[in-house]
């Protein structure tokens, strides 16, 4: 299938005082048309930075985005997002590539009504026609995300809605311009468990009913195993393993992936002790040249600390960055 987005050697650094903090290190990811990929890893592994970096939302003085290219196919043309000027990039954000952020409470302007905020997103990406019924369009999308009483919600302020409702509004806002790619960064993790389920149901619905390609960022491997076609496992700013969801979950190759899966509670084997990963995620600025996981890995050897393992092929879709393979 055709590749819609091809990320090559993407890196991102944050600037703090006088030091550079590398949050994302030469990441390669691709997304095919209609496909759903998941980016998995513990907090602090660079997942969220990836979402911001693709949209080039990290910039001076906060940080920088560097890399070879981010090829994006749009109407048979291919453009490199990394080379785009801010004004052209702006036209892609929210139109061709949308982002749903983690915390629904801090993703909308607290002092502006929902209808104005939705209208703004629609209007900035369309030629302005005065006669257009923007509230009508907004209402259609609010219905699509199963919000009851869209009319009432349209004229509410964010603080009047619950977290689950706000997240639905955010998803409606992300969909309102019919994007090609939807990036969602932990869209359910700050919600109640019961609400999480409903929001996830909606993501499944979007996957089935829209011609959407999705990048789903999550730390929840259970969710990912049910939802994604392919998975990228990230650790300390790097992709350490990638492959089809089934391959990753049945035959994980990287010690980190294996450890992650072993730490997962199983519904069908309750009472089984959970394994935890010894040690802690290293601070991004203190990672050496070798494999970042080496210090916590039971298989590590001297070479692991001294040079970065090559990306090794296991099958056509399955790759890992470990010398063991």
Partner 1 sequence: MFIPLLIGITVISFTVMHLTPGSPVDDFKMNPNIDARARHRFYKLYGLDQPLYIQYAGWFGNVITFDFGRSFKDGRKVLTKILERLPATLLLNLFALGVIFAVAVPAGVLSAVKQNSFTDRFLAVLVFAGYSLPAFALALILMYVFGVKFGWLPISGMVSVNYSYLSFWGKVFDLLKHLVLPVITSAVGGLAFMSRYMRATVLEVMRQDFIKAVRARGVSKKGIITVHIFRNALIPLVTLFGLLIPSLIGGSVVFETIFSWPGMGRLAYGAIMSRDYPVVMGVGVIMALLTLIGNLIADIGYAAVDPRIRYEK
Interface residues toward partner 1, by CB under 8 A: 52, 55, 57, 61, 87, 90-95, 98-99, 101, 103, 106-113, 120-121, 124-125, 157, 159-160, 170, 173-174
Nearer residue to partner 1 within complex by CB, 170 or 320:
170
Beta-bridge mates of residue 97: 93, 181
Asked whether the CA dihedral 253, 238, 206, 263 is positive or negative, the reply is positive
Shortest spacing between CB 260 and partner 1, in angstroms: 28
Shortest spacing between CB 60 and partner 1, in angstroms: 11
Alpha-helical (H) ranges within 39-124 are: 47-54, 86-92, 114-124
Of the candidates 45, 57, 58, 70, the one whose C-alpha atom is nearest the C-alpha of residue 98 is 57
Shortest spacing between CB 149 and partner 1, in angstroms: 17
Shortest spacing between CB 157 and partner 1, in angstroms: 4
- C-alpha atoms less than 13 angstroms from C-alpha of 61 in its C-beta half-sphere: 3
Nearer residue to partner 1 within complex by CB, 40 or 58:
58
Nearer residue to partner 1 within complex by CB, 61 or 270:
61
- As a whole number of angstroms, the distance between CA 37 and CA 50 comes to 13
Shortest spacing between CB 193 and partner 1, in angstroms: 23
User: What is the SS3 assignment for 206?
Assistant: helix
Nearer residue to partner 1 within complex by CB, 98 or 214:
98
Nearer residue to partner 1 within complex by CB, 82 or 92:
92
- As a whole number of angstroms, the distance between CA 87 and CA 39 comes to 28
- As a whole number of angstroms, the distance between CA 252 and CA 240 comes to 11
Nearer residue to partner 1 within complex by CB, 13 or 49:
49
Shortest spacing between CB 229 and partner 1, in angstroms: 24
């Amino acid at each position: 299938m055709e590749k819609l987005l091809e990320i090559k050697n993407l890196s991102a650094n944050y600037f703090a005082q006088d030091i550079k903090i590398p949050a994302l290190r030469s990441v390669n990811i691709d997304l095919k048309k209609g496909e759903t990929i998941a980016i998995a890893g513990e907090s602090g592994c660079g997942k969220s930075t990836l979402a911001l970096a693709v949209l080039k939302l990290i910039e001076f003085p906060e940080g920088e985005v560097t890399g070879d290219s981010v090829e994006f196919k749009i109407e048979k043309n291919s453009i490199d997002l990394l080379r785009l000027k801010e004004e052209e990039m702006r036209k892609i954000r929210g139109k061709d590539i949308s982002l749903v952020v983690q915390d629904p409470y801090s993703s909308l302007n607290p002092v502006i009504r929902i209808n104005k905020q939705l209208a703004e997103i629609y209007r900035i990406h369309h030629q302005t026609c005065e006669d257009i019924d923007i509230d009508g369009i907004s209402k259609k999308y609010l219905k699509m995300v199963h919000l009851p009483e869209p009319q009432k919600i349209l004229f509410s302020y964010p603080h009047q809605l619950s977290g689950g409702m706000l997240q639905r509004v955010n998803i409606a806002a992300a969909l309102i311009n019919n994007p090609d790619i939807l990036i969602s960064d932990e869209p359910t993790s700050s919600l109640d468990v019961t609400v999480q389920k409903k929001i996830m149901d909606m993501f499944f619905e979007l996957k089935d009913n829209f011609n959407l390609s999705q990048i789903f960022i999550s730390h929840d491997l259970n969710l990912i195993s049910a939802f994604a076609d392919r998975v990228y496992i990230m650790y300390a700013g790097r992709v350490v393993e990638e492959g089809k969801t089934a391959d990753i979950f049945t035959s994980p190759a990287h010690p980190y992936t294996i450890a992650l899966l072993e730490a997962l509670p199983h519904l069908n084997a309750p009472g089984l002790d959970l394994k935890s990963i010894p040690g802690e995620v290293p601070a991004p600025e203190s990672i050496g040249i070798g494999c970042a996981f080496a210090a916590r890995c039971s298989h590590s050897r001297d070479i692991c600390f001294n040079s970065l393992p090559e990306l090794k092929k296991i099958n056509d879709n399955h790759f890992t960055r470990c010398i063991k393979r």
